Chains A and B, each alone.
Chain A
Amino acid sequence: MSIFNIKNLQCIRRDNILFQGLNFDLEQGGLLQIDGVNGSGKSSLLQMCVGLIQASEGSINWNGVNIKESRYQFQSDMTYFGHSNGVKAELTARENMKVMHALSGDKSDIDYSSILKQIGLAGLEDVLLSRMSAGQKRRVGLSRIFMTQSKLWLLDEPFNALDKNGKKIIEQLIVKHCTAGGMVIFATHQTMEIDGYPLQHIHLGNET
């Protein structure tokens, strides 16, 4: 049974306390949305959850072990998709996907074309990302969650720059992943249309 939980987490950025005393548990199939106004610490929370930023107080645990102590075990169970797409403009879609796939540690054969088709980029395998639009680049970046075997996904504003159709594809994938026992934590302002799948919420910032 995989569990991701955080205990008494505190975040201080530039001498401001963004949040403190934050607790939550996420079990298999859990879907958690983080919302809050700009600057309330959504991205910081996600970056803490993946271990990019150290928490000033509190602990983050994966299967009962602090993620600091089992970094590579945690990182192989986890996929993070941040604010920036993490793809190279001078590489083609296929080359970018190859690198992402290799870094994820998954060794199965993957048909890159069929994934591109699923995310609405059919036939763009060999196009440089510098020739693509912002939304198309975002989609190539998001293709990593199609290629990973990891249980836990942490997505920071995944719907940014995506059109309605793109948003829907990602929503469906998230629900599918959770239904299969995966876990997803994501930050967004937008309303999720997930057909009644139970959604947990964390609200950061002032309650007003």
Chain B
Amino acid sequence: MNEYLNIFFVILRRDLTLAFRNKSEFINPLMFFVIIIILFPLAFGSDSALLKQLTSGIIWISALLATCLSLEAIFRSDFEDGSIEQLTLARYPLTLLVSAKVTAHWLTFGLPLIIVALLTGLVLSVPSQTMLALLITLLLGTPVLSLIGAITVALTIGLRGGMLLSLLILPLYMPVLIFSMLAVQNATVGQSIAAEIYFLSGILVLAITLAPITTAAALRIRLS
């Protein structure tokens, strides 16, 4: 067990080091995220009542779009320099190594995104109970985005298809978006959001359990 934990952290550390040495790769999607959000007040006027209603939705949709841009980074360089073969042929289960890589992606993209989302929420004066719901849904939702995204990236990597990736991945993100927005709307009118939280947690647990296995299988298919 210890051994597996050890290799998990070796890969996690490797990917975090790589992300910090290659800053543009993880800062650019975050900048993209902020810029899309900024476009909306420009279009609707920063005081409009409509914008106030839409803010959390805007933040969530921007998060989905930014995720699409950031996902390729999980496997692209490994695919180009042959590291992916070495991971596939290592002594340890590929599922475990893939989990470490996805964790690294969430730590360098999902987590900073939540922080940036909170800041923009403050700037756009989102009310506090809506903000809390937004925070919870992002915490539960962004890991799902990374996990499901990894499957799609594994299938499409090397196919020159950033567009293909987005077309495949966005429909898969719909359930997360639906439950998150329901939670945010309920929170805004002061209702309980427990049901949505349960659903999102369920999706997260399912994704943590199944997505790495599927990603590993997809990688093997992609390599053969």
Partner of A78, one of B11, B89, B92: B89
Partner of A53, one of B10, B17, B83, B224: B224
Q: How far is the CB of A111 from chain B (nearest CB, A)?
A: 18
Asked if A85 is an interface residue, CB under 8 A from chain B, the answer is: yes
B224 touches A52 (CB 8 A): yes
Residues of A within 8 A of B1 (CB): none
Question: With the chains together, A105 CA to B86 CA distance in Å?
Answer: 12
Question: With the chains together, A85 CA to B84 CA distance in Å?
Answer: 11
Residues of B within 8 A of A72 (CB): 91-93
Q: Answer whether A98 and B10 are a contact pair too, CB < 8 Å, given A83-B82, A87-B81, A88-B83.
A: yes
Q: Is the interface of B mostly helix, strand, loop or mixed?
A: helix
Question: With the chains together, A103 CA to B9 CA distance in Å?
Answer: 12
Q: Is the interface of A mostly helix, strand, loop or mixed?
A: loop
Residues of A within 8 A of B81 (CB): 84-89
Asked if A36 is an interface residue, CB under 8 A from chain B, the answer is: no
A84 touches B7 (CB 8 A): no
Asked if B21 is an interface residue, CB under 8 A from chain A, the answer is: yes
Question: With the chains together, A51 CA to B11 CA distance in Å?
Answer: 22
Residue in chain A with minimal CB distance to B80: A84
Question: With the chains together, A51 CA to B83 CA distance in Å?
Answer: 16
Question: With the chains together, A51 CA to B22 CA distance in Å?
Answer: 32
Question: With the chains together, A91 CA to B80 CA distance in Å?
Answer: 15
Asked if A166 is an interface residue, CB under 8 A from chain B, the answer is: no
Asked if B6 is an interface residue, CB under 8 A from chain A, the answer is: yes
Residues of A within 8 A of B83 (CB): 86-88
Residues of B within 8 A of A95 (CB): 14, 17
Q: How far is the CB of B51 from chain A (nearest CB, A)?
A: 41
| Contact residues of A between 72 and 113, Cβ < 8 Å to B | 72, 75-76, 78, 80, 82-91, 95, 98-100, 102-105, 107
A84 touches B91 (CB 8 A): no
Partner of B86, one of A89, A91, A103: A103
A103 touches B87 (CB 8 A): yes
Asked if B223 is an interface residue, CB under 8 A from chain A, the answer is: yes
Partner of A104, one of B77, B85, B91: B91
Q: How far is the CB of A41 from chain B (nearest CB, A)?
A: 15
Asked if B90 is an interface residue, CB under 8 A from chain A, the answer is: yes
Binary flags per residue of A50-82, CB closer than 8 Å to B gives 1, else 0: 111110000000000000000010011010101
Partner of A102, one of B7, B17, B224: B7
B85 touches A85 (CB 8 A): no
Residues of A within 8 A of B89 (CB): 50-52, 75, 78, 80
Q: How far is the CB of B81 from chain A (nearest CB, A)?
A: 6
Give B contacts to A, CB under 8 Å. Answer: 3, 6-7, 10-11, 14, 17-18, 21-22, 77, 80-83, 85-93, 223-224
Could you give 26 example pairs across A and B, Cβ below 8 Å?
A50-B89, A52-B89, A53-B223, A53-B224, A72-B92, A75-B89, A76-B91, A78-B89, A83-B82, A84-B81, A84-B82, A85-B81, A86-B81, A87-B83, A88-B77, A88-B81, A90-B17, A90-B22, A91-B14, A91-B17, A99-B11, A99-B14, A103-B87, A103-B91, A103-B92, A104-B91
